Amino acid sequence: MRNFKHKPGWIALSFLILICLRYSLPSQASYVAPFKVPEKFVYDLTWTGIKAGSASLESVKDGDKVKIISTARSADWISVFYAVEDRIESTLFRKPEESGIGHPHSYRIKIREGRHRRDKEVVFDRTANRATYVDHLKKERKEYTLPDPIFDPISSFFHIRLLRLVVGEPVYVTIFDSKKVWNVEVQVLRKEKVSLPIGTFNTIVIKPVLKSEGIFFGKGEILIWLTDDIKHIPVKLQTKVAVGSITATLVQGTY
């Protein structure tokens, strides 16, 4: 286990959602490492050079299941104008002998961003290849037939970290998000050395070609820097928004 300790990190969950809503299991998956639990990442996010909020992304054991949790809160100065308080949870069934992340059991997203609210849940039935979608605010409930394999948005990001990533070779992935099944291309762009407050890392840069709902609705390019090793730790993220851009860097972590 490795520990990074630094001053508290700051990142709005609206950015973490960008990285967690876009990936899943391709049929040609080639695992480079087993899925490890627990993990926790804390990020520092700046919007045009100004700190914007705080968030964490972690995986923990929950009895015979694995839970992945992403939480975030906006900085006090932003909350005066646009409060962000978000929580996303993905629960997975995973057998000890499995090298992958397992199979989704449920997915819950609760978002408060300014006046915008979302409280949605998906419960998966892998045996029947179906999912029950529930919108708790709109009192909507509907069932969907799904292909196999498939993942929810947040757990699928952890899956892609397990894959063999080769520059110039895109990975095609499938998720259930926003009441639809999405086939998403993740481009593997280049290798790059980056210097952060916690150290210098050799990384591999990926870019999801966004299609599903998300916070920014696929309008801005998103780049993710993963460590160029078997852990594929997300150490840096960057995206354009309506005004300026957001850059997130890892400032603390345990894995």
Q: What is each CA distance from 207 to 167, 169, 192, 221, 235, in whole angstroms?
A: 11, 12, 14, 8, 14
Alpha carbons 255 and 59: distance in angstroms, whole number: 10
Q: Is 121 exposed, middle or buried (0-12, 13-18, 19+ CB in 10 A)?
A: middle
Structural domain for 206, as ranges: 3-251
pLDDT, averaged in runs of 10, over the chain (255 residues): 37 39 38 81 85 87 90 86 90 80 91 91 94 96 92 84 93 85 89 94 90 45 91 88 79 86
50, 72 contact by CB (below 8 A): no
CATH number of the domain bearing residue 243: 2.40.360
Per-residue pLDDT, 2: 45
Per-residue pLDDT, 11: 35
Per-residue pLDDT, 142: 96
Non-local (6+) Cβ contacts of 110 within 8 A are 86, 87, 88, 118, 119
110, 167 contact by CB (below 8 A): no
Q: What is each CA distance from 102 to 29, 43, 119, 131, in whole angstroms?
A: 13, 26, 24, 16
Give start and end residues of each alpha helix (H) in 46-186: 76-79, 153-160
Per-residue pLDDT, 119: 95
User: Across-strand partners of 125?
Assistant: 130
Closest CA to 228 of 195, 202, 193: 202
Per-residue pLDDT, 67: 94
Number of domains in the chain: 1
Per-residue pLDDT, 255: 73
